[in-house]
Amino acid sequence: MIALVNKRAKQRLIGVTILIFVAVGALILFSDFSGGTATKTSVAQALTEADLIGTQVEVSGEVVAGSWVSGATPFVFEIEDADDPDAGRLRVVWNEVVPGSFGDGTTATITGVLEEGGSIEAKYLVIKCPSKYESATGALTVNDALSRRGELAGVTLKITGFVVDGSIAGAGTTPRFQIADDAAGANALDVAWGGGLSDEFVDGAKVVITGSLEADGVFQCTEVALDQAAK
């Protein structure tokens, strides 16, 4: 009887030990997966400090204009330190869905393993695009701009309107979004934009855009802002 009890106790002990090892292993895996072990570093450090190669790092930088191709798989782009562009550029490889806010000049925070040659395979990608506000005073309405298309083609304009419901597309897509004099989208204007879009840039938001209306009817945008009155 005593032998039987000891055997059962031993089996329970083995079972508990296995559970402990499984729990510890899962905790270690989760810690690594969540980026908790990532070393925060700058673009310059990532490009020059050899001891960082092969380790998981977290680095932030500004997306370099023209360094990416829309729809590419994997999605590859470059970042640089906005305060020290001479430090060089870090190449980022991203295999997941590109955030809708991504674009030239946005701030990207990447977590992943640093590789030789100034490249990082990103596990996590966070894009920050701060909201910008501008007064709509003096801006043309969409209907005014479209009715004078021939006269205004190629001229720098400021236009105000509402983001058409369902029109916001991913980075590199033309049009990137549409605006109209109402969110329903009647007589909408196609807008080409290579920069980022803030979290407040949503369907129905009133915006002020600057750029030029081209002969093909697409508005080549150089600046996007939310209407100051909506702040």
**Tens of pLDDT along 70-85?**
889 999 999 999 999 9
**Cα separation values, 20 from 23, 24, 32, Å:** 5, 6, 18
Reading the block at residue 219, the tokens are 């508005």
Domains identified in the chain and CATH numbers:
39-128 (2.40.50.140), 133-230 (2.40.50.140)
pLDDT of residue 19 exceeding 60: no
Whether the predicted pLDDT of 216 surpasses 90 = no
Across 86-106, average pLDDT: 94
Pick from 180, 179, 181, 184: which is nearest to 168 by CA?
179
Both tokens assigned to 7: 């055997």
DSSP label at 54?
T
pTM comes to 0.74
Q: How far apart are CA 9 and CA 25, in angstroms?
A: 24
Indicate the average pLDDT of the chain: 87
Binned at pLDDT 50, 70 and 90, residue 6 comes out as low
